Structure 1
Amino acid sequence: MAPHFCGALAMFKATVTGPSSSHFRELERQIRDKAERALLEASHEAGRRASSGIRAAMSRAGLGRLGNAIDATSDLDKGGRLYRSSSREVSASSAIHLKSRSERTVGAVEAYTRGATIRPRNARWLWIPSPELQRRVKGGARLTPANWQSSGLAQRIGPLVKIPGRHAGEVLLIVQAVTIATKGRANPRRLPSRGGVRAGRELRENFIAFTGIRSTSRQARVDPHKIIEGVRAEIPSILASKLEK
């Protein structure tokens, strides 16, 4: 005789309890904090890449140390504060700028990144000193015909004499009877009163100290906007790499 069961033998009930709302809020906060930090780091790195790219381009263009005036500052540098346009939208940025306030440096950067025509201010001629002369005088001022006398060069080398240039629109300031070194730096000096030229030096009957021109043009050699746009295109990948940390 088979056993007989009446009714159910057992009942099974499974219950799953999800995280509390406080756990969701904590998770959301952690995700938001990580995303915001990634934004700050990505914009900071983009600024550094752009400024480094511009400096390198200036160096390749033969602009010497002019690129050292280029720098970048980011929101991360300023304490890590984000710009919040709404409760759900934030942004971070960096800016490329010039570290120097020198009018000469600013003008040179503008000329070689935009192109420019340089003309003298409050004067008839734009004076270009000979590369064989020192570039600076006492106190760090640039050598010019105006400070030739006060800098002592008139006594060491001789007085300036203006003569016509080699073509129209040019004049020359020369010093007569000057000796220069045959090796190394020219180190121009006045011809000794006895008239002899020392060993290791040679005589220049007319030493061209300055060339005066009406104006000069500078062609743009570097395109910083192209470099910046190239870095902008890299921002998604930069941000992704920061989020993966």
Structure 2
Amino acid sequence: MAGMKVQVFLGKYLGPYRQYQQLLDRRREAAALIASERAAQLGKTETRRAMQGGRLGRLGQAIEATSDYRKGTVHRQSGGGFSTSGIVYVRTKSDRTVGAIEAYTEGADIKPVRSRWLWIATDDIPRVTGRYRMTPQKWKDGGFDSKIGPLEIVPSVNGNPLLVVKNVGVNIAGRKRSARSLTRRGTLRKGQIEKKFLVAFIGIPRTSRSARVNIAAVRYAIRQKLPQIYLDALGRTAR
């Protein structure tokens, strides 16, 4: 009889406490979900800002973020703890974009794959054709043999090759990427001067890309802010 009284007493005494403890646990979990989302989005923003500061143009738009907050999923552990997470990732499957991001965040030694030389376009010819960086093959595929002129290979003073176009016109004021073919009558187009020998591509055996964005520093900065982000989120759960 006494044991039953104890159980009744404990049920009445601990019941409200257990409910309160469960409420605290749910608040902590909710705050962790909110904090993981905010940290992930902040990581995305800061990574994009760092890439823009590194003069990487729109490459940062390939950076995205998500977290367990989107699914409302908390990973509870058997020992009574829990975890939530957020990630910053590259959302594109383009090998070229992924490779560029790796090169400018980790550094890279770039070597030719299909030929002996890497071909670097000069400022006199178009930098891209369509969505692709200009290469000797893209030059041919894009019809630039007729738009500007056929490419011819000649040796440079250092022994590396050059791809040149002969007898073309360029902007008289020196504007970049202005190379054009002569007219059918062999005359210059308006606003251009003749260039007998124009270097279109410079051949090099390899090149290096140094890292322009310190991802580790961005990640460290977010981690330093995470405790305050969590406390702010915990405060929101009391409303």
User: For 1:94, which of 73, 86, 108 is the aligned residue?
Assistant: 86
1:39 and 2:29 correspond: no
Structure-1 separation of matches of 2:36 and 2:113:
41
Shift of 1:218: 0.7
Aligned length: 225
Secondary structure of residue in 2 paired with 1:88: coil
Structure-1 separation of matches of 2:64 and 2:222:
15
Cα–Cα, structure 1 residues 155 and 213, in superposed 2: closer, same or farther, change >3 Å?
same
Whether the 8 Å CA contact 2:121–2:134 is kept in 1: the answer is yes
Structure-1 separation of matches of 2:24 and 2:199:
70
Cα deviation code 1:71-125 (max 9, x no counterpart): 2221112x11011122520111111211111111111111111111101102111
Structure 1 unaligned blocks of 5 or more: 1-17
User: For 1:178, which of 151, 168, 173 is the aligned residue?
Assistant: 168
Residue 205 of structure 1 aligns to which amino acid in structure 2?
A: K
Shift of 1:193: 4.2
Shift of 1:20: 5.9
1:54 and 2:47 correspond: yes
Cα–Cα, structure 1 residues 219 and 185, in superposed 2: closer, same or farther, change >3 Å?
closer
- Written as runs of structure 1 = structure 2, the 5 A alignment for 1:1-245 is 21-77=14-70, 79-86=71-78, 88-137=80-129, 140-168=131-159, 170-182=160-172, 186-245=177-236
Whether the 8 Å CA contact 2:182–2:189 is kept in 1: the answer is no
Secondary structure of residue in 2 paired with 1:244: helix
Residue 128 of structure 1 aligns to which amino acid in structure 2?
A: I
Give aligned-pair identity as a percent. 36
Cα deviation code 1:164-217 (max 9, x no counterpart): 12424x211010011123355643221224333233112121111111110111
Shift of 1:145: 1.1
Structure-2 separation of matches of 1:127 and 1:137:
15
Partner of 1:14: none
Structure-1 separation of matches of 2:134 and 2:190:
28
Secondary structure of residue in 2 paired with 1:217: strand
Partner of 2:3: none
Q: Which has the higher helix share?
A: 2
Shift of 1:66: 1.4
Shift of 1:157: 1.0
TM-score, normalization by structure 2: 0.85
Residue 56 of structure 2 aligns to which amino acid in structure 1?
A: L
Cα–Cα, structure 1 residues 129 and 186, in superposed 2: closer, same or farther, change >3 Å?
closer
Structure-2 separation of matches of 1:98 and 1:165:
40
Structure-2 separation of matches of 1:100 and 1:182:
41
Cα deviation code 1:8-54 (max 9, x no counterpart): xxxxxxxxxx9765433432332222111100011111111122111
Residue 36 of structure 2 aligns to which amino acid in structure 1?
A: S
Deviates more, 1:234-243 or 1:145-154: 145-154
Structure-2 separation of matches of 1:227 and 1:88:
32
TM-score, normalization by structure 1: 0.83
Deviates more, 1:194-203 or 1:111-120: 194-203
Structure-1 separation of matches of 2:43 and 2:138:
40
